[in-house]
Structure 1
């Protein structure tokens, strides 16, 4: 038996499949979908509204609090009309104002200061005015941003943007 050539045997491959990479990819996909679902959810701010007063069936904290409510109507061509109380019987009648330091800002400061003093006398300190901002469809976006800036500058804590107009308010904006 001399030098006989050895038979070369083929190497048998393992029949096991290594799934380590597949597990990593699946975890990455799961994380990706979880993040995208979380980011796609709409973000909303919680809004707490006062209850209707059962005696007089009105909003805004009940009966006799019209002096706390100031309404600002925004129209086209930088038109701004404000009034205090209910439009039918306003405490401060509707009047057209300008944006800025000598216009609506001054009015907001005066109304808020007097309301803070009044509420402090009643034993409820820190309750300033509530401003209802009503931008019309003709109002431009800049005016809405300007009035929100005025709320911040005047330190008005409670305000709401409402897009519902009464017929009287629509007539008021259309006049002049």
Structure 2
């Protein structure tokens, strides 16, 4: 008579090693934290003024033109600015450069003098209003450079306008 041996299955360990799973999960957490930080948009805060205030101060004649400084951006990093209206400017159009010895110096001087003048009139914090006009031939980097200058100089009143008058176009094409 043959003896029947029962084949018993080998008992496997019920313990699972999670070391690899923990390191993979930490790597995934770090990856998603880095990618969400890099995916956040980098924006420049653009302050826009009120469009209809009823308590606007009354300033002397010509004060509005004195407050406006127009910057024209042309091709090959050309930068021309003038104060007032292009037909009758308070300060004649001048070509300048980007940076601390160029447009930044002019912006700081104009803004400081106008802030002092408006403080004498009893309405402090009324500095210059900058009108930025990039031409179709200017590059995007020039616009970013000018917006950086607005941030550095602390000028919050500025507008980006894409319309040129014929006189302004002549200023950019002149040598």
TM tier, smaller? 0.5 to 0.7
Q: Is 1:170 matched up with 2:169? A: yes
* TM-score (norm: length of structure 1): 0.66
Matched residue, 2:140: 141
Q: 1:163 to 1:122 in 2, by over 3 A?
A: same
Matched residue, 2:154: 155
* TM-score (norm: length of structure 2): 0.66
Deviation at 1:50, TM superposition (A): 4.8
Q: 1:137 to 1:62 in 2, by over 3 A?
A: farther
Consecutive aligned runs of 4 or more in structure 1 exceeding 6 Å deviation: none
The gaps in structure 2 that reach 5 residues or longer are 1-45, 53-58
- What CA distance in whole angstroms lies between the structure 2 residues aligned with 1:163 and 1:49? 21
Matched residue, 1:68: 67
Deviation by residue 1:82-111 (Cα, 9 ceiling, x = unmatched)? 000001111110000000010000000000
The gaps in structure 1 that reach 5 residues or longer are 1-44, 52-60
Mapping 1:118-133, distance limit 5 Å: 118-133=117-132
Could you say what secondary structure the match of 2:164 adopts?
Answer: coil
Deviation at 1:157, TM superposition (A): 1.1
Deviation at 1:118, TM superposition (A): 0.5
Superposition CA RMSD, Å: 1.9
